[in-house]
Amino acid sequence: MDKASLRLSGRVAAHGNGRIGNEKFTLTASTGFANGGTVTLRATPGFSPKYDENEKKLNFQGDAISNVGDIGKLSEIDVQFSKSGVELAGQACDVTVARDHAEGDNAAPSGVRIKSNVDKVGDVTITAIQAGHKTLNDEDARAEKNAIRIAADIPLSDVNADLTGSVDYDLVSKNANVRIGYHKDDITVKLRTLIKEDGDKRTAASTINLDYSGLEGIGVGVEVKDDKTGHLQITKDDFKLKVPIEENKVKTNDASITYNWAIDM
């Protein structure tokens, strides 16, 4: 078995309404297995730093500093196994299997992802997840329902080298996503259209992202949806300022500044 890696990471956020806190604290451990495979464990330690709004200083959850000993009491444990070069039906595939911790009515939901490069098509990915699964859900949130998605690249580079595209289709919900991207120098534009089945008709909802990275390491981005919501964001190193937009107005009270940190151990 290969040497393991261990990382502590977190996210501290300050919001426009005055709330300040440590919103994320995660322990991630990875090690190799089975000749090139990787097993990864993610968990929440039983101890987390936080900012005390009353004392206006960094403090610790619990009544005493001795609670730092609870850092070894892990909860919300997610496990993921991945391996490249697995041969399935004569095709070399990257396979990932993940099992998330239980939450609410979701009893440790699992997911499987198989990715392969197909001649004349490009990357093709099949993802099957249970309701409540998050690790392999493309929305970075727990899936509302069971899903079986097939995703494939759209070979737009043959038309323009700066264009990328992909499409995915859910066999369960009958929903589809079409993604088109354009990248030139410091400018990136992404268009995502979600096509949903609504009874005997289909509806479409679009999201546009525009990012600019030509300001000495500072990133500027805007996201706009067709329902007139979205956000502005500015990033610098591990800091991000995000300001929501609603009805064509900036919502400063819902703005946030976040700092993502990580320590390799």
| pTM for this predicted structure | 0.80
Parts of the chain with a pLDDT under 50: 1, 60-63
Q: What angle do CA 149, 99, 97 make, to 5 degrees?
A: 55
Decide: 260 and 1 in contact? Cβ < 8 Å: no
In this predicted structure, what is the pLDDT of residue 62? Answer: 47
In this predicted structure, what is the pLDDT of residue 207? Answer: 96
Amino acid at 34: A
Q: Rounded distance, CA 157 to CA 152, Å?
A: 14
In this predicted structure, what is the pLDDT of residue 262? Answer: 92
Q: Write down the residue that tokens 């610790």 correspond to.
A: 60
In this predicted structure, what is the pLDDT of residue 52? Answer: 54
